[in-house]
Structure formats: C-alpha cells, structure tokens
Amino acid sequence: MAVTPTSADVEAGQASYTPISLRFYDAMVYGLTCPVFWKVPRRELLRLYRRNVSTEHLDIGVGSGYLLHHTPLPVGQRITLFDMNPHCLEYVSRRLGRHDVATCRGNVLEPFPLPQQSHDSAALNLMLHCVPGDFGYKGVAFDNAAACVRPGGTLFGSTVLSRGVPVTRRARLALNRLNAVKGFNNTEDSLADLDRELGKRFSEYKLTVHGCTALFEATVE
C-alpha cells in the first residue's frame, strides 16, 4: 500500500536550497549532475526553454533560475516565480532583475494562489523528482500548473527518473543517496507512469529521454 507523503516530506524536498547552496547550484547541477550523472546535456535543457518560454511565463520550482537567465528574452519579460522556498524566490528574482518578475510561495501539490489562465507557458523543470509520492500522487502538479496556463499554451519541463530509462551505476548510487536523505523522492518514478499521467491530461504532448532524464512538452487545452 502506498504511503501518503506528509507535509514534512514536501518540505524536505526543498530544504537543501539555502543562500549558500544556491551560489554553487549552477556548477553542481548544470555542470556536474545533469551531464555526468543523469546524462542530460545542458544544451538540451536550454533548448527546451528556448522553444517554449512565452511572453508571460510561470516558472515552478525555480532552483537558481539558470535556464531562464540564459534564455534570450526581451528586457521587461513578464515572469512569475512559484516556489515553496523563499531563498530560491529571492535569489532568482534578483538574478532576473532586468525583467518584470513577480514571486509566489506555495506547494506544487495544492492549487496555486494565482489567477487561472493567466500565463502562456509554465515550466516544471528538474523539480518533480524532489516531490514526494509516486506519479499517481504528484501528477496533480500537472493539473495545478496547467490551470494557470491559457488554452493553447505550453506546459513543459524535465525530471529525473528511476525506472524505465537507462540508469548508470554511478547514477543509481547517487539516486539512492539522494532518496535516503529525501532530497529526491523518485524511487518509484518511471517513464511509463510519467507518460500515463501526461496522457490522462493532455491530448498533445511529447516526451524525450536523455539518459535517465525525461523532457516533456504538452499543449494545454
């Protein structure tokens, strides 16, 4: 029987993001773990953003804001940052200070305190693997994010999987460690389950696999 995650589990998934750790986030995530462990090139994640970011964009689980920072956008671009962690929101809003940035705190597993159909794109990048529960539980994040996107807009992102994708020995050791300390919560996350949850919600979507990382792009109806 699946165990329902607690609020403490949700908090644990983002607790490691501190003002100090965020200074090293780009080098650790985009310079090391993504290309070396998860086998997803940084250029593919940048291409994902460059294909899909709209003039009114919602970024969910914002990390350090690296991909938005390196995506060519007009000065004054409207961006909403949504995250549970206030350190991430403060760090990324400063980093993207050349744009029109708003911030919102919340839990991705609960309805967002944002107007419905208020954005033309939304991203869930490298964060679902930190959310507790299997995809049957955390798939609600797709619903909550899509509710904030206008029909015809795009919901996109990426996530590290544990099943149904190539996982190297080095990656498996890293995943085991990260799940043990609850930095990740993806021991049950499979490509088939991700595909199923997207298919339940979107009639038009695309999944691309790089190593043990899945990139997804879906059209909101």
Q: Report yes or no on 93 lying in a domain.
A: yes
8 Å CB contact between 100 and 121: no
- Please write down the HEC assignment for all residues of the chain: CCCCCCHHHHHHCCCCCCHHHHHCHHHHHHHHHHHHHHCCCHHHHHHHHHHHCCCEEEEECCCCCHHHHCCCCCCCCEEEEEECCHHHHHHHHHHCCCCEEEEEECCCCCCCCCCCCCEEEEEEECCHHHCCCCHHHHCHHHHHHHCCEEEEEEEEEEEECCECCCCCHHHHHHHHHHHHCCCCCCCCCEHHHHHHHHHHHCCCEEEEEECCEEEEEEECC
- Amino acid 17: pLDDT: 84
Two tokens, residue 125: 């990048």
Q: Report yes or no on 161 lying in a domain.
A: yes
Q: Report yes or no on 1 lying in a domain.
A: no
In a structure prediction context, what are the per-residue pLDDT tens digits for the chain, which is 221 residues long?
A: 344 554 555 555 456 789 899 999 999 999 999 999 999 999 999 999 999 999 999 999 999 999 999 999 998 899 999 999 999 999 999 999 999 999 999 999 999 999 999 999 999 999 999 999 999 999 999 999 999 999 999 999 999 999 999 999 999 999 999 999 999 999 999 999 999 999 999 999 999 999 999 999 999 99
Q: Report yes or no on 74 lying in a domain.
A: yes
- Amino acid 1: pLDDT: 36
Distance of CA 5 to the CA centre of its chain: 19
CATH classification at residue 46: 3.40.50.150
- Amino acid 16: pLDDT: 74
Q: Report yes or no on 28 lying in a domain.
A: yes
Number of domains present in the structure of the chain: 1
Angle at 37 between CA 32 and CA 39, to 5 degrees: 95
- Amino acid 8: pLDDT: 53
Which residues constitute the domain of residue 101? 7-108+117-219
Of all helices (H) and strands (E), which one includes residue 114? none
Q: Report yes or no on 2 lying in a domain.
A: no
Q: Report yes or no on 146 lying in a domain.
A: yes
Two tokens, residue 161: 């999987």
Q: Report yes or no on 99 lying in a domain.
A: yes
- Amino acid 152: pLDDT: 98
Phi first, then psi, for residue 195 (nearest 5°) are: -60, -40
- Amino acid 10: pLDDT: 55
